[in-house]
Chains A and B, each alone.
Chain A
């Protein structure tokens, strides 16, 4: 199935995507995209959707099951609240990529901006470039893999997500600390890099995680806020 947003509306395309069968994988290509918002939102089908062009805000939001490829950049909130499936952005992603996502995999070939993986709740994110400030803020579970650098306050107020960064980290947020890379982490990271199609060496990454000091407020931590 093929669509062209020069002649069709996002609403028409999304409706057609929602009408796809749930029991078999369909292939869909959408052309003529120029920053349109809310593309392929709310998928609940195992379809493979290729978006040719730069996507606007909230692309692939709430995705379940589908594999969505963006041949371009993605705006704010790509794969927001994803539940399962895979979203692959071939260019850069803007702010709040995979915010609050519960599952699935987001791969960004370029850079992701600020707040990548904010409040992540089980999603795995692999960014082949760098991430901006406040990434993995309040991360609860899942993994954030950054092959480039991380901006200020990485993992601020982190709960239990695993963060792996190859490059330099501008600064760590409150309660985020460097942690030992144990065999199970190398295994977890290797699998994610492989799934994302990256040939980075897992041994060149540093792991960061929660110091678990902010679970309940302690007055000793007041200066960390």
Chain B
């Protein structure tokens, strides 16, 4: 099992309510995945010369200001820090790769959840309801959001095994299903320089996308490649800086349902996660075709 939900707002007037609209969608998928949950929210974009990092640490009272000071010293630039439960969002003028190195040197127990200009990934082990409350999901603003509730099958119940998986600047992937060729694919991707942190099959899918994007593919091309190269069952939802994509394997065993109105595009594993959305009664509803990439947003 596992539940996937996504909401992309077409009407920017709703952006202040994104978290509030999304929270019941995530909680509705508890039955499909009660062991961990997470979401990637897009909004509060920084300028082109800046990056935004979402970091997490097991210690609820982690001294994020010390890490920020270290980064300020190293790069001679101001670093802003916003705390959210055991996570922190840092914004600064810098490049991704050296900042990752500096953080790893400073404290390898700090987890980098996402890096980008718009994305923030927050995830945790536990019931979706508790996780939504912990990170104050209902109060969050943004343009679009992708979420996941996990029922662990391919690897253990850990924070690392929970979704979304970051697949590069501003990109993330959530997965419902199981991959059968992930071991061999993992080896091939490792040879190409992709690093993995878990035994999770979905992380291999994320790594695959990272590799294709690194090779210059567009999100659509990378997902079309995934349909060819990943063996197994999957419904993926991929978040990008300006939109989100949905793709199912050619057999389409794993459920997915879409809804579209003038105000939003939404996807979920089951309809009842969409039933709380405004105007759902008159939305265009359909189940995405197998082996076809759907994309909403700019670009």
Contacts and interface: CB of A to CB of B under 8 A. Distances in A.
Interface of A: 34-37, 54, 56-57, 73, 75-76, 91-92, 94-95, 110-111, 113-114, 132-133, 151-152
Contact of A56 (B272, B285, B287, B290): B272
Contact of A114 (B28, B252, B270, B271): B252
Contact of B275 (A34, A94, A114, A133): A34
B255 A76 contact: yes
Given A114-B290, A133-B289, A54 B272 contact: yes
Given A35-B270, A132-B289, 6 more contacts: A37-B31, A57-B270, A75-B271, A92-B286, A94-B287, A132-B287
Contacts of A92: 285-286
Given A35-B28, A76-B255, A94-B257, A111 B286 contact: yes
B291 to A, nearest CB: 9
Given A94-B255, A94-B257, A133-B252, A75 B287 contact: no
B273 to A, nearest CB: 8
B287 to A, nearest CB: 4
B42 to A, nearest CB: 27
A93 to B, nearest CB: 10
18 contacts: A35-B28, A35-B270, A35-B271, A35-B272, A56-B272, A57-B270, A75-B270, A76-B255, A92-B286, A94-B255, A94-B257, A95-B252, A110-B285, A111-B286, A114-B287, A132-B289, A133-B252, A133-B290
Interface string B283-299: 00111011000000000
Contact of A94 (B28, B271, B289): B271
Interface string B252-279: 1001010000000000001111010000
Contacts of A73: 271, 285
A75 B32 CA distance: 14
A151 B251 CA distance: 12
Among B28, B270, B285: residue with most chain A CB under 10 A? B270
A113 B289 CA distance: 9
A64 B3 CA distance: 32
Nearest to A152: B290
Contacts of B285: 73, 91-92, 110
A92 B252 CA distance: 18
A14 to B, nearest CB: 17
Nearest to A151: B289
B272 A95 contact: no
B204 to A, nearest CB: 26
Contacts of B28: 35
A92 B255 CA distance: 14
A211 B252 CA distance: 26
Contacts of A151: 289
